[in-house]
Each structure stands twice: as C-alpha cells, then as structure tokens.
Structure 1
Amino acid sequence: MKKDIDLVMKKNVGFDDNNSAQFIYSDLYQPLAWPDEYPCFIQIHSEWPVQDVPLHWHHGPELIYSRNQEIRFIVDTEKTVIHPGECILISSGAIHNVEPKKEIRNQDVMSLTFKGTYIEKIYPKLRQTKISFMSPDSTDEDRQELVEYCEKLYAILEQDTKDYFALNEVLFHILGLIFNRFVSKECNETQSTKHNHDKMSLVLQYVEEHYQEEITVSSIAMEFGYSREYFSRLFKRYADVSFKQYINGFRLMKASNELYTTDKRIADIAYDNGFADEKSFYASFKKKFNMTPLEYRKSKYEISDQ
C-alpha cells in the first residue's frame, strides 16, 4: 500500500542511529555495530578492491581522514575533494557519498562515525548544526590539530591491547574541537530545500528496504509524489548520477558484500540482490570492478595469504 507521504513528512525522518542508512563496512565487510566502550564507530579502510560508498546519511556527525588517498565526496549536493593528510567533516543528517580513487591498492583511510543519539545528549542542537573542515571560525592550526588527533588514534589502535581511556580521551578532544572550532555559520536552509532533503532521506531508506525488488524511476517517483522528470532531476542533483545508476551501484555493493562473506552461488547472489538475471549481474559487476564476481570472490583469499 502506498504510504501517505504528506503524513510521513510531518514527522521526523526516522532520525535515529538505527534508521540511518548504514552502508559502512570493515575490511571483512561486516555491518555497522555501535561499540559500548566509546561514542563512535571507528574504521581503518584498507580493503581491496576499493569501493565507492553510495549516497547515504547518518544521525551522528562523521569525520573522514585520508592518509594516502584522494577522495571525492558529494555532501548535500556540494562536491568536495580531500587529499592525503586532510579531513572532511560531515554534518548530522547530511546526504553524502564517498568516491575514493580505485587504483590505490594500499589505501589508508580512517572514518569516525559518531553515535547521534549519544552526541545529541551532549549537544542538543546537533541536527540544526552544520560542521565544515573549512569553517570560517577555524584556522590552519585548528585543522592541523584535528589531523594530529587522528594520528594519535592510529597510534592507539595499532597497539595490541586497546587503551580505552586513551581512546576516549582523544575522541572527546576531537568532538570538543569539532563543535568549538568547526561549526559553520552558513545554516540558512529554505523550507523547500529542507523538504526535498527530508524526502531524499526517505528515498534512500526506501531503497535500503526494497532494493531486492523491481524499482523503476517511474515507480519510486510515484511512491514519493513526484513526476518522473522532476524526481530524476532532483536525484541527479543530490547523487550526481541517475537513479538507475545509483540503485545498480547499491545492488553491486550488497552483492560484493555477499561474495566476500558467504559461499552462496553467484546466481543466487545476483537474484537476491535485485538483478534480473546472472548475465546482467556479470556485465554490471565487470564494468564496475574490472573483474568478474568469481575473481572478486577469490581476491579475499589472495589478501588473506599476504
């Protein structure tokens, strides 16, 4: 049954950590799980082949620090690039994607995804606050300090035994620095912009729940009360790709996860992730990863033997 979108839009957009579109995977491609020992999910990304992270959002703010990678982002329709030794700060609820360079085999990138429900208790205006690594209130010294704290985290994480007191000390220094020095004053959203942003958040949740089914541009536009043409333009503005390209990439991400973590037949993985047939899955997979699904599955054993 078609949901009453106007009624849905009068409520918050599923704005909690469990309903955030959580497309984050570790080197073993395990789903996001919030730790009890500290206030964020920490990852060191070194997986190969390197993957894009499709358009998504988190309740909590996010910091991504690249040691050796140029990474492109789209954050609430704005295109941004960070270079090795730089960070990006992503606001609570910001719709964003991540596009690392594919040819970097030994990528070394850290992401800190803070738990929104926890941070909101400390900073109640979290959802209304925009953060930026280039905030006008920040200085080059502030930015260098944030990078140095990221390196301190690396040093703690590389220890055989984790020092959770030291880890929390650094994480709360980072949080204090973010909300004292990196809050952007440019927060003037029009009602129309907020309406479209909230609807896009719902679209992404819908894809997360229905990607295994047949979804066309026309059907999802109708689902959310848009004309096909307007929805296509709106989605392209947020994602910089068409909806068809986006959902194909999303399905490939889910399928590649299953190739790494299960022994399911490749044909079953294709059907279970919304592809019409095995042939179309192979063609899409080869185009994106420059290898077949079978070669991709074998690559995990090559990495584990290194």
Structure 2
Amino acid sequence: MKNVEKLGNMDKTRYDSYYETKKHSDIMYAYTVYPCTIPQDFSFVPLHWQDSFEIIYVKKGTGYIQIDLSTFQAESGDIFVVLPGHLHGLRKFEDSRMEYENIIFDKSFLGNDVVDACSQKYLQPLLEEKLYFPVRIRRGQKMYEKLSGFLDSADVLSDQKPWGYELGVKGYIQLFFSQLFAMSREKKHHGLENKSMEKMKSVISYMEENYDGKITVEDVAAECGYSTSHFMRWFKEMTGTGFGNYLIEFRLGKAAHALRTTEATVLEIAEQSGFGNLSNFNRLFKKKYKMTPGMFRKR
C-alpha cells in the first residue's frame, strides 16, 4: 500500500489502520478460497482493500462488483482480478442471487519475495502500477477457457488435497498469471484517478472509525477537502449510490454481523451500529433483510 502523508484532515496513521488486515491463509501456504453467496451470506460488501491478491470467480447468478472506479454487472463465469491495494466491493442486483468464489493469496505466493527475472520483469512492474491487464475476463474472450481452466483445476486440487496439491495449486495460479501478463500493457498513470482512489479510502476509513456515532455529510466532505455539494456528486460517481444510502447499508452490514456473532441485545446492536432510534433500525433492517433482527438472529 502506498504511503500517504495526508488526505484531507486525516493523518497517515489512521488511514493505514483501516484497510483489511485479516490474515486469510497460513504463512506457509498463503492461499485460501471462500465460497460466498449474495445476498445469503452478504447482501452488501462495502468497498475495502488489502495487501493481497484477490480473484472473484462468479459461479452462478448475477450481482454488482465494483473495482476501483468501475462497477460491473457480473454474470456467471466472470473472473475479476483485484490487485493489492485496490478498492473493491460487491452488492446484490435487484432480487438476484450470485454465487462466487473469493480466491485470496499473498504476494509471496507468486514469488514476490524472491529476487529473480520473474519478479523483476513482471510482478514488481505490476505492483508498481507500471503494467495493467483487464480486471474482468468474460466467456468468449481470448484466453478465457485457459484462465478459467486453471482456476477450476486449482479448485479440484484444493478440494481433494492429494499429496503435493500445494505445488499444483501454486503452479495453476502462476499459469493463470502468465496468461494475464501475455495480455498486459504498459500503464500510463492518471493522476486524477489515483487522487480519487486515495480520497475514497479516506472516506471508508472515516466510516470504519465513526459508524457507531454521528456522521454528517459535512464532516466526511471535509475529510476529502470537498464542499458538501461536490462531495455528494463525487461519491455517487464513485459508488453508484448516494452517501446516505451507502452509510445505511454499511451500518446494517455491521449490525447483521453482530447479530450473527455476539450475544448483545438488538437495542445494543442498533446503538453500536449508529442507529439512535430502535424502531427506525428495525424498519430499515426488515426492509433490507426481509425479516426482523430477532428473526435474523434465530435463522
């Protein structure tokens, strides 16, 4: 993740503290696959970033996937490649269901910690934003069959775990990236885009730190150094939705997680998630999840 000296009124220490730091794998085998379903597992995955690679492999259905400034209506078979440090998030599309795999692995899995020709010629330029390749690969596109085949083969080995499967999985992922690098191009930096990305990270970090209390549009706009009206337009361009709606989705996601994982009362969870009014929380929760918080917890 790049160093950021100052973003609006937020200092670098706080900014660096609010990206995803969860360790998804064993340091000796830095590769993990999570099967997920929207909206059954998550109806909304807010924008976030981490210091690892992530491949989102859509198995069935459709949903929205945002990577950096681009939002896609994902379809069955789509493959999305998220590089370290890049924003990404997911949300449901209307009443549709989407099943997908989150394939997450550390940079070391591709040999980034080894100084050799592969690292210097491919991985370092990619991580330094000097190279790019398409973030979305779809059925019918060149090399799709090879790329999806490598992921499917890695899945089979991960499921069956024969002797030596770790070497096989690493080999398939390296073959996957070798095909992507064959499609890569030199990247020309866009200063305005990079600036927007860093400002969005500051907004996400601010919400993570303050979602349990009062958050005003004026406060968040000040974090970016924008006027309120400019911030509202900019945020909708970045995310496809208004800030108020996004904040409600964010808080409801926190509440749903607390209902699953804690013994706190519904009132306590509502307050801890930033909802000062219990009846309003119950109404918004039922509208989103089609059931009351109590029913959600029992289910």
TM-score range, shorter chain: 0.7 to 0.9
Q: How does 1:218-297 map to 2 (within 5 A)?
A: 218-297=218-297
1:136-173 per-residue CA deviation (whole Å, 9 max, x = no partner) reads xxx946221221222223323434xx458414422442
Shifted more, 170-179 versus 187-196: the winner is: 170-179
Q: Distance in 2 between matches of 1:260 and 1:291?
A: 14
Q: Distance in 1 between matches of 2:55 and 2:263?
A: 34
Q: Which residue is equivalent to 1:42?
A: 33
Q: Distance in 2 between matches of 1:298 and 1:102?
A: 25
Contact 2:53 2:84 in 1 (8 A): yes
Contact 1:70 1:101 in 2 (8 A): yes
Q: Give the AA of the match of 1:41.
A: T
Shifted more, 174-183 versus 253-262: the winner is: 174-183
Q: Distance in 2 between matches of 1:163 and 1:37?
A: 17
Structure 2 residues without counterparts, runs of 5 or longer: 114-118
1:87 to 2:88 alignment: no
Contact 1:59 1:92 in 2 (8 A): yes
Contact 1:50 1:104 in 2 (8 A): no
Contact 1:60 1:91 in 2 (8 A): yes
Q: Which residue is equivalent to 1:207?
A: 207
Contact 1:92 1:130 in 2 (8 A): no
1:111 to 2:112 alignment: no
* Structure 1 residue 255: Cα displacement: 1.0
**Structure 1 pair 203–7 and aligned structure 2 pair: CA distance change class (3 A):** closer
* Structure 1 residue 118: Cα displacement: 6.2
Partner secondary structure for residue 101 of structure 2: strand
TM norm structure 1: 0.78
Shifted more, 201-210 versus 115-124: the winner is: 115-124
Q: Which residue is equivalent to 1:189?
A: 189
Q: Distance in 1 between matches of 2:35 and 2:293?
A: 25
Q: Which residue is equivalent to 1:72?
A: 64
Q: Distance in 2 between matches of 1:171 and 1:91?
A: 17
Q: Distance in 2 between matches of 1:32 and 1:206?
A: 22
Q: Which residue is equivalent to 1:152?
A: 153
Q: Which residue is equivalent to 1:142?
A: 143
Q: Distance in 2 between matches of 1:218 and 1:104?
A: 35
1:67-109 per-residue CA deviation (whole Å, 9 max, x = no partner) reads 212132222222223322231122332222212457566x542
1:62 to 2:54 alignment: yes
Q: Which residue is equivalent to 2:116?
A: none
Q: Distance in 2 between matches of 1:117 and 1:203?
A: 29
Greater per-residue strand proportion = 2
Q: Distance in 2 between matches of 1:168 and 1:253?
A: 37
Q: Distance in 2 between matches of 1:33 and 1:10?
A: 25
Q: Distance in 2 between matches of 1:179 and 1:211?
A: 42
Q: Distance in 1 between matches of 2:132 and 2:9?
A: 27
Contact 1:65 1:86 in 2 (8 A): yes
Identity of aligned residues (%): 24
Q: Distance in 1 between matches of 2:203 and 2:89?
A: 15
* Structure 1 residue 178: Cα displacement: 2.2
Q: Distance in 2 between matches of 1:82 and 1:32?
A: 26
